[in-house]
Amino acid sequence: MAALALHVSVPQSQPIIRFPSFSLSRFSQCSKRRNLLYCAPPHLDNVRSEVSLCVGTHLIPHPNKALTGGEDAFFVSSYSGGVIAVADGVSGWAKENVDPALFPREFLANASDLVGNDDEVNNDPQILLRKAHASTSATGSATVIVAMMERNGKLKIANVGDCGLKVIRKGQIIFSTSPQEHYFDCPYQLSSERVGQTFLDAKVSNVELMEGDILVMGSDGLFDNVFDHEIVAIATKYVDVGEAAKALANLANSHSADKTFESPYSLEARSKGYDVPFWKKILGMKLTGGKLDDITVVVGQVVSS
């Protein structure tokens, strides 16, 4: 994850915020709930409607945060045609003696409660961001993406920061969100502080989905380490969305620890002027490697009921 927006500092690689993985048995007591908050991999959530999302999730925490499971939050809901969301906390809050996990967890807990229970939210992810943000009292900040699909296949997306979503149709990416950044490695973020972005800064998109379309949502731990062609190859390889999510997370994790890998993150860093010292360039060296991070992947397939 990136630096705090209210701190002007040299961008540097920092761990992404994730939420710990749990076994599905831990959620057996919530089986009657409409929304599944902090879903564990692999999980399937079938929505009975004209079209719906069949969803699989997988999370791999940063190596240094394996014991706590990281600091990310995400949820899957069966409301309407299906709702998926990821919130990625800002690790810079740790320097302020604030647990970076608290804000994204509370934010998506509030969002989960609002979905299906608030008429104003309906199928509007931007309003969902506004209300969830207003209800969150924890100190911190997070990048957030929410996608809500109606039963007719219309997908509405609201995104603040560098979590992302791609739509794959017949082996091609037909839609992709774009990251919002103040500068390299410092994304837009919803915050407990007055200095920061609001729901009005969210990038709102609409996509008409068809049966068979595949959605890949994730934190920047996925997209910083895995190229688009790799995402397409894996997402279309597996019939089971849970297995697809797991395979994508595993690939991102492998790339993140490879110091010689020409990752999307290292390529972007070099394009922004961040590289090895000049004397290393003379020796033919360059900035390479993946970005160690918590990795959250949500894969959804549009199915007909």
The string of pLDDT tens digits covering residues 157-212 is 999 999 999 999 999 999 999 999 999 999 999 999 988 899 999 999 999 999 99
- Percent of the chain clearing pLDDT 70 (strictly above): 82
Locus of tokens 């990416």: 173
Q: How much of the chain is helix, strand and coil, in % rounded to 5?
A: 30, 25, 45
Q: What is the mean pLDDT of residues 271-281?
A: 75
Q: Is 70 left (phi over 0), alpha (psi -120 to 50) or beta?
A: left
pLDDT at 238 exceeding the cut of 50: yes
Cα 118 to Cα 230: distance, rounded to the nearest angstrom? 38
Domain total in the chain: 1
CA dist 258 and 60 (Å) reads 16
In a domain, 176, yes or no: yes
Q: What is the mean pLDDT of the chain?
A: 85
Residue 200 lies in a domain: yes
pLDDT band of 7, cuts 50, 70, 90: very low
For the cut 60, the answer to whether the pLDDT of residue 40 exceeds it is: no
Residue 24 falls inside a structural domain: no
Torsion sign across C-alpha atoms 222, 59, 79, 142 = negative
Q: Is the pLDDT of residue 281 over 80?
A: no
Q: Which DSSP string corresponds to 70-108?
A: -SEEEEEE-STTEEEEEEEE-GGGGGGT--TTHHHHHHH
In a domain, 59, yes or no: yes
Whether residue 40 is contained in a domain is answered as no
Is 235 part of a structural domain of the chain? yes
**Of the candidates 259, 186, 246, 190, which has an alpha carbon nearest to the alpha carbon of residue 218?**
246
Range of the domain at 221: 51-257+290-304
Higher pLDDT, 204 or 9: 204
Is 125 within the bounds of a domain? yes
Taking the model in full, what pTM does it have?
0.83
Q: Strands (DSSP E) along the chain, which ranges?
A: 35-37, 51-60, 72-77, 82-89, 141-149, 154-160, 164-169, 172-176, 181-183, 186-187, 190-191, 203-208, 214-218, 295-304
Q: Which residue has the higher pLDDT, 112 or 285?
A: 112
Chain position carrying tokens 């809050």 = 93
208: domain CATH number is: 3.60.40.10
Q: Could you tell me if residue 117 is inside a domain?
A: yes
Check if the beta carbon of residue 42 is closer than 8 Å to that of residue 245: yes
